[in-house]
Chain A
Amino acid sequence: MTGIQRGGTAMDDLAPPAAGMNGALLSVRNLQTHFFSREGVVKAVDGVSFDIKPGEILGIAGESGCGKSVTSQSILRILPKNGKIVGGEILFQNEDRTVDLATEDADGRVLRDIRGKEIAMIFQEPMTAFSPVHSIGDQIIETIRIHQEVSKEEAHDQAVEMLRRVGMPNPARNIDEYTFNLSGGMRQRAMVALSLSCRPKLLIADEPTTAVDVTIQAQMLELLRDIQADLGMAIIMITHDLGVIAELTDRVMIMYLGKEVEHGTVEDVFHRPQHPYTRGLLASIPKMEPGRVEIEPIEGVVPNPYAMPTGCKFHTRCPDFIAGVCEKHDPPLTQVAKGHEVSCFLYGGRERLE
């Protein structure tokens, strides 16, 4: 495996955490996050591995139930009560130390120091990120002072500066406003300012443009691009919208039912999609191109999470289904080009089955 850094094979699991980060800021290896309920176990994330380097923008894309949001919640250890990381590693390069976020105490010192300071998150609905009874300034100042030893005045100045950076029209006044006084677009900007107030090394953006109008979405994407160029943090962009992925990210991982199906640069994945699911997804999106461009839906429905298909999770809907193989075995990740990997028996792995 040259050219890319990734873990996730059985041998890597035995290696000590610090080894093999290869300059990655975050290295998720064979992550398994399951949900336990009365009806059974849902394997929301079932063996996902990826790396992100400092300053890189990675997209994680897939439809509802693919596990993209659970992956991000696992990284920050903010899973709902019935969700548990049951396997794998989440290695984070914190200063000169490598921390395995998967095994740290979710409420412990290490994670509380990392959350908000080293790794920050923005959400779909900005109202959930803020308390409605405190001004946005007070909340940003609080965040800054939890993580940095600065005076109130200094924190205030930093907060104003951050609000200015995210394009608030009048930062000195906006800092005393409450979220309910702000319009949707301004709330989004305030949330970005809050999340970036401690200059995190990694920003996780979970569907930040899904609930907003297209002109506000364009503003938001421009803001993320500018601020990434400005502050140089890495971004994990989680979205179902492949247009947003194409617009913003360098690399993309496509997920289906808790599994990684394809991974590569956006150019590779969008221009040379290999996995039948990726091809199906791209073919089902109406295009903004002149003339009549037909769309082809993926047949069938996403399986019930309590009754997951055996073998390749996509085999029930796959147009290239190989009987006797796909429903029996898990397809391994196969490299089809440098830095472009697919988990599908069409591209190899069958010879290893016997």
Chain B
Amino acid sequence: MEVYFDNSATTRCYESVAKLVVQLMTQDYGNPSSMHTKGFEAEKYIREAREIISKNLKVNEKEIFFTSGGTESNNLAIIGTAMANQRSGKHLITTSIEHPSVLNAMKYLEEQGFEVTYLPVDEKGVLKLEDLKDALRKDTILVSIMHVNNEIGSLQPIEQAAKIVKENNSKTLIHVDAIQSFGKFRILPTKLKIDLLSISGHKIHGPKGIGVLYVHAKVKIRPINFGGEQQKGIRSGTENVPGIAGLGVAIKEVYTDFEEKQKKIYEIKQSFIKQIKEIEGIVINGAEEAGAPHIVSVSFEGVRSEVLLHALEEKNIYVSAGSACASNKPAISSTLKGINVKKELLDATIRFSFSFDTTFEEIDYCIQSLKEILPRLRKYTRH
């Protein structure tokens, strides 16, 4: 049995998506900017995808911008609005457990003379709203909060946060990194009073190299790349038509029978948590029951995560140590530090992330394998 529990790193592309992508690469390969029929056809695919996305988010089609993925969406949202709104102030707020594509964009802005407040989180990885209230200033132009944390799956109270921010100053913008949550929840930016929302294709069984940034029509934003003025000049560059069309299909598929899927994946997670608690010497990080339906972060006492990861791999079970996006280098995760994981467990943490396709058999097999592997690994530890 092959068990892929690394769906927060990336997901398997739907067959229907892959088929359409190939078709758009080999047959309908026109450039949407071309004036002939082939260009027009390509443009139609973009229109269709844009319609699917805007209907899903219940926003205007003009508010959808296609990017190269989650990182670019986050970069564009943060740097693009900071640069465009700096006359109103140079203060930004975010949390200490954001993805590096947010944290490093913030760091860049600090070098450019902006001031950034990084809000702490509690031991469950959740932002305290009073902290947000206290941090807001007259010159705060942007608050960027991730919806679901990529390493521990904690869920941020974005609706209440947005409310607090807008009550303080209706002009302050709110950006939500929804890369881990889109496809797992229904997200309606207008209702939530969110001004900018980042989405990534390959986290929801779509292609890699495609992302979306929703930008509310009234938001002032400046481009961060320059070229042929495609997408109203906000995001120049020939549109990634296969990626865009593929993303459209993926969104359609994900949100078909959605409530049913959502219920099942919660059950999957509960089954996993229930069973893993039977194992001695483990700590579940972040909120157990609350939180995202697809991510469970577990620390294993006396085992190094890298070794456990490879031992699981020998059983055809694929997981991440910490967060895959940051774990090419075994640097200690800022999220795990942010929620005060014990020092000796920082290097002993595995992330299991499920998808709608995950089965209960896979969960059982994984638990069984852990029960088999752990005593062996714990017998031989470094002194």
Answer yes or no: are A and B bound together in one complex. no
Task: Please list the residues of chain A having a beta carbon within 8 angstroms of any beta carbon in chain B.
Answer: none
Task: Please list the residues of chain B having a beta carbon within 8 angstroms of any beta carbon in chain A.
Answer: none
